[in-house]
Structure 1
């Protein structure tokens, strides 16, 4: 099991609570500006958040949506497909949750379950996996052509971070709802998840629907820099450019060389 870290990646400094709260407050003001803009213009925004168990997806979603209008903001976190859904076209159960005009939708995991959990845990066949990989970009490009702004983020963590956070779930009574049967074997399949992640990112990263990687071992830095990146890539009125510049050591466009150069966890 891969546990050693490639130290070619620069360490991420911790962020003290006061600095974090000040930065988050400024960014949440920008998110409200963004929402007012896309409601006024009828925009459709879809953000996909992927990553290993305990990568911090729930935390960043909470900070993004905290002060947004719930009528135009939706978080989608689908559970295990039903027997009927398992017979459907794979993307079918995701389609009803896509954004309409004036909506901002965040997927806490998405159709990329097939390239990650399902692939590693044997919940899909090799044929189903290949069919997904061969068609997912056509599906996403169709969404973009329909007017949806699609953004894909992968939250990346080290092995030791996952172990620590999974243990916290087991011991913290306020985090019991996060525990799943998959958690129990997540660390055991670390290397298989790494292989699946690398193939997913490499095969589904395109100029039209690119992947952005977030180094998420330091939660506060990950949250702040993901929100900064999201805001920097969207147009809206009265943007404060001084607060939306992200740290390129924390958030960056995917490139296969990032894997071998230590910017993505082994």
Structure 2
């Protein structure tokens, strides 16, 4: 026979052990598979999600206030609308994978909105995003990553990235951007002259770039300016711009 007082102590000890030893509901699913992204859908955190393999996006999709660990490319269907709001991306590749393996590619004209987000390449990963359509960025920071804009109208504010390429008729307005490489591709036969692009100093300037692209930069900082030369094009530089080169 157990006394009433002893019984209470046993029940209390059992409840205490249950409270200490049982993880919180959030901890039980601290990392979840990213749900299927459907047209009109929103995935909202807080939480950590992961996705292995190709991530296909179509229709209108919003990711908000979450972390996403992704191992594979992102393919965006023509006409899609993707919004990243307070999203932290972590991108991983297999060892010795080529740059851009876990990158993003638009299969036609799309709309991408990015707000107060970041992308962290893990290990040797080097994400490359090929963008076509509309791009609106207000706060995005990443290392060892690249944006390549073709036939894109872009508004960029507070962007920090390894390389930004503006080519093929893109029209870009950028403010408070910090770039290691700022680049453009020529058409097959065009004469271009670049000037007054200081190295690693804040500057503001309108630039006519290669293949019909234009950039309006305000309070921008660029370390290296690159020109990818095609065909018979002959870019030249003067007054503070680096000699144009091919890579």
Structure having the larger proportion of residues in strand? 2
Decide: shared fold, TM above 0.5.
no
TM-score when normalising by structure 1: 0.21
Bigger relative contact order, structure 1 or 2, given CA contacts below 8 A and separation 6+?
Answer: 1
- Larger relative helix fraction: 1
Structure (1 or 2) with the larger CA radius of gyration = 2
